[in-house]
Amino acid sequence: MKRIAILHGPNLDRLGKREPEVYGHATLKDLESMIRREAKVLGLATTFFQSAHEGALVDQIHALTDRGIDAFIVNFGAYSHTSIALRDALSASGKPAIEVHISNIKKREKFRHHSMTAGACRAMISGKGFPGYLEALQRLPKYL
């Protein structure tokens, strides 16, 4: 069974409370439950990690890579737009990754229009809400 790590950056633990007009009322726990259900259907195992700390996310990418994770789905939140360290960690992993954004980053503030981390990913899914994560799960097997 292929193992997929889903990594969440800052403020994603605030889903359901933070800007519900942008992100909706469902929580991170709700999102993880939805992903687990779809992964089971696809025959994929999942592991989840969320942190507001850039270094913790970098450390987690390295640790998961060393443990033989097969692929990543990432939503680094605001770090997507600023973090060369996260981009480098994903690149160094040698594992396929898909970046997901719940909101459409191209329709938000100008500083959010470009993702630094997307260049280390096979694809980016933006603006599809929680179903964007399911799309990422469905796409990943072609990269494994």
pLDDT 10s digits, 109-139: 676 667 889 999 999 999 999 999 999 999 9
Mean pLDDT of 14-20: 82
Residues with a known catalytic role = 23, 101
What are the structural domain ranges in the chain? Answer: 2-139
According to DSSP, residue 54 is labeled H
Q: What is the pLDDT of residue 113?
A: 63
Q: What is the pLDDT of residue 108?
A: 67
Note the residue count of the chain: 144
Q: What is the pLDDT of residue 23?
A: 74
What is the spatial distance between Cα 106 and Cα 1, in angstroms, rounded to a whole number?
35
Closest CA to 69 of 142, 1, 139: 1
pLDDT exceeds cutoff 80 at 20: no
Domain boundaries 2-139, corresponding CATH code = 3.40.50.9100
* Through-space distance between the first and last CA atoms of the chain, rounded to whole angstroms: 11
- pLDDT tens-digit series, residues 77-111: 999 999 999 999 999 999 999 999 998 877 766 76
Q: What is the pLDDT of residue 112?
A: 67
pTM metric for this prediction: 0.93
What is the spatial distance between Cα 41 and Cα 27, in angstroms, rounded to a whole number?
22
Strands (E), the chain: 2-8, 44-50, 71-75, 97-101, 123-126
- pLDDT tens-digit series, residues 47-83: 999 999 999 999 999 999 999 999 999 999 999 999 9
Q: What is the pLDDT of residue 73?
A: 98
